[in-house]
């Protein structure tokens, strides 16, 4: 059945502003046309959105829905089944909150992605890296305080590799296990007592081998990097995306502009470490949030391509906090929403299919009570939203 959304301003995801007097014509799961209200064919059923804003659904370019898989309390079904149920629930909840696409940056196995794609449970469309390729004592190495390695869930390839040859072989293994993209950990983070945030973990030779092999296999490489020489080495190795980038110096920003490297800052991850972390994370994060915001401001001014990612799953799945923090870092509201819709779709390689209200894309849409281009916080309240996935409202 064809139907048209009428009587609401349109934020198409790309133009950065609201457009008036248009109708969004839907055919099955796709957007067929965006046309003046008066040109909607007579046989098309009209859906009056009552003056509310029509916009693309949110894409979260960095989240973790199954971090428990990196350090499960046990491998038996009785232990794992409730954890899997909680992950299904979290996936369903973010869809209800307006998130229609997620790049899971470590932990989520292919059964979730494929189950969602097949419609077996409600949730967003998923890309997953499965694991985070790292050296021994890297960020995905679940070393416990006494030094023993924590076992990963058997659904994930082990993350560790040493030297370019093993790194290349690890890429092949992770792709063979079903990963949509490769995630690597180039520097430390804020959660380990044994690694400094700026410490380089993978060598440039290892990262060059990873990028070469991944690109040969048609997979992008995204890179956890906070700053310092590891971040620069990752850029020189040709990674497609820098995740976090809390200390971007002039050299890094110039390199990102020159190469077209994407930047997914995950401001909210560190803000939540600062608010709610243990003493270790809080201490690091206190020292980070100011320079992080400044890195985003300078990168944006220089023209670095920015996509919105929450790092949700470390704490809550709250992708709206990231939008609010991007706005606080100086991005105009229209660009903030673009970073979480059309720009995110570009970053993830979904631009033919998602992220904008243009003909041919999936009808994954939000109907918003309030104007998010004036006040981004209207997206925080689910009472303000009606969510459509693949042409069907969740509540119809
Ligand atoms: Zn993360």
pLDDT digits (tens, 9 = 90+) for 294-349: 999 999 999 999 999 999 998 989 999 999 999 999 999 999 999 999 999 999 99
In this structure, the answer to whether residues 301 and 375 fall within a common structural domain is: no
In this structure, the answer to whether residues 78 and 42 fall within a common structural domain is: no
Nearest one of 300, 297, 273 to 285, comparing CA atoms: 273
Q: Which pLDDT band, with edges at 50, 70 and 90, does 190 fall under?
A: confident
pLDDT for 142 equals 61
- Gyration radius from the chain CA atoms: 21
pLDDT for 141 equals 67
Instruction: Supply 168's token pair.
Output: 């290349």
Centre of ligand 1 to C-alpha 77, Å, is 26
Calculate the CA 336 to chain-centre distance: 14
Centre of ligand 1 to C-alpha 62, Å, is 6
Q: What percent of the chain has pLDDT over 90?
A: 84
Instruction: Supply 335's token pair.
Output: 């660009």
- What are the backbone angles phi and psi of residue 177, rounded to the nearest 5°? -80, -5
Centre of ligand 1 to C-alpha 52, Å, is 34
- What are the backbone angles phi and psi of residue 174, rounded to the nearest 5°? -70, -40
Write the pLDDT tens digit of every residue in 115-126. 999 999 999 999
Cα pseudo-dihedral 124, 130, 136, 138, rounded to 10: -10
Kindly give the interhelix angle for 319-328 and 279-302, rounded to the nearest 10 degrees. Answer: 60
- Between the CA of residue 34 and those of 54, 218, 339, 356, what are the distances in Å? 12, 33, 22, 11
In this structure, the answer to whether residues 155 and 272 fall within a common structural domain is: yes
pLDDT for 264 equals 98
In this structure, the answer to whether residues 334 and 202 fall within a common structural domain is: yes
The enclosing domain of 40 has a CATH number of 2.30.40.10
pLDDT for 246 equals 97
In this structure, the answer to whether residues 89 and 216 fall within a common structural domain is: yes
The enclosing domain of 225 has a CATH number of 3.20.20.140
Centre of ligand 1 to C-alpha 223, Å, is 10
Structural contact between residues 252 and 245, judged by C-beta atoms closer than 8 angstroms: yes
pLDDT for 284 equals 87
- Between the CA of residue 94 and those of 60, 186, 227, what are the distances in Å? 10, 29, 30
Q: Which pLDDT band, with edges at 50, 70 and 90, does 77 fall under?
A: confident
Centre of ligand 1 to C-alpha 311, Å, is 5
Centre of ligand 1 to C-alpha 118, Å, is 26
In this structure, the answer to whether residues 365 and 289 fall within a common structural domain is: no
* Count of domains observed in the chain: 2
In this structure, the answer to whether residues 114 and 260 fall within a common structural domain is: yes
Write the pLDDT tens digit of every residue in 245-287. 999 999 999 999 999 999 999 999 999 999 999 888 898 888 8
pLDDT for 281 equals 86
Q: Which pLDDT band, with edges at 50, 70 and 90, does 195 fall under?
A: confident
Write the pLDDT tens digit of every residue in 14-34. 888 999 999 999 999 999 999
In this structure, the answer to whether residues 386 and 257 fall within a common structural domain is: no
Centre of ligand 1 to C-alpha 235, Å, is 18
Centre of ligand 1 to C-alpha 290, Å, is 19
In this structure, the answer to whether residues 368 and 293 fall within a common structural domain is: no
In this structure, the answer to whether residues 292 and 161 fall within a common structural domain is: yes
Region 180-195 average pLDDT: 89
Q: Residue 317 is part of which domain span? A: 58-348
Sheet holding 241-244, edge to edge: 182-185, 221-225, 241-244, 262-264, 305-306
Does residue 37 surpass a pLDDT of 60? yes
In this structure, the answer to whether residues 117 and 236 fall within a common structural domain is: yes
Q: Which pLDDT band, with edges at 50, 70 and 90, does 53 fall under?
A: very high
In this structure, the answer to whether residues 107 and 20 fall within a common structural domain is: no
Kindly give the interhelix angle for 250-259 and 279-302, rounded to the nearest 10 degrees. Answer: 60
């Amino acid at each position: 059945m064809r139907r048209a959304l009428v009587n609401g301003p349109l934020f198409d995801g790309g133009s950065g502003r609201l457009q008036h007097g248009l109708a969004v014509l839907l055919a099955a799961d796709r957007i067929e046309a965006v046309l003046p209200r008066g040109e909607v064919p007579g046989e098309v059923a009209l859906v009056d959105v009552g003056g509310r804003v029509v916009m693309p659904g949110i894409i979260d370019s960095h989240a973790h829905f199954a971090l428990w898989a990196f350090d499960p309390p046990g491998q038996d079904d009785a232990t794992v089944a409730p954890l899997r149920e909680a992950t299904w629930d979290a996936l369903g909840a973010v869809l209800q909150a307006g998130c229609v696409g997620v790049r899971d940056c470590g932990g989520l196995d292919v059964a979730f992605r494929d189950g969602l794609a097949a419609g077996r449970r409600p949730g967003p469309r998923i890309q997953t890296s499965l694991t985070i390729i790292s050296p021994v004592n890297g960020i995905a190495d679940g070393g416990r305080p006494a030094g023993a390695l924590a076992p990963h869930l058997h659904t994930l390839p082990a993350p560790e590799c040493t030297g370019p040859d093993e790194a290349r072989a690890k890429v092949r293994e992770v792709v063979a296990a079903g990963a949509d993209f490769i995630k690597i950990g180039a520097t430390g983070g804020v959660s380990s007592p044994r690694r400094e945030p700026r410490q380089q973990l993978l060598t440039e030779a290892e990262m060059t081998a990873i990028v070469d092999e991944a690109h040969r296999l048609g997979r992008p490489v995204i890179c956890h990097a906070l700053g310092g020489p590891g971040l620069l080495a990752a850029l020189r190795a040709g990674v497609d995306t820098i995740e976090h980038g809390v200390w971007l110096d002039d050299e890094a920003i110039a390199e990102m502009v020159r190469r077209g490297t994407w930047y997914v800052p995950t401001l909210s991850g560190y803000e939540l470490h600062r608010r709610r972390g243990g003493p270790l994370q809080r201490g690091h994060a206190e020292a980070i949030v100011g320079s992080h915001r400044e890195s985003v401001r300078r990168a944006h001014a220089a023209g670095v391509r920015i996509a919105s990612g929450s790092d949700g799953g470390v704490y809550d799945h709250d992708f709206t906090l990231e939008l609010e923090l991007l706005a606080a870092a100086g991005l105009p509201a229209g660009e903030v929403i673009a970073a979480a819709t059309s720009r995110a779709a570009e970053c993830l390689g979904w631009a033919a299919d998602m992220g904008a209200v243009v003909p041919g894309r999936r009808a994954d849409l939000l109907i918003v009570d309030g104007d998010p281009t004036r006040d981004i916080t209207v997206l925080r309240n689910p009472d303000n939203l009606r969510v459509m996935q693949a042409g069907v409202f969740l509540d119809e």
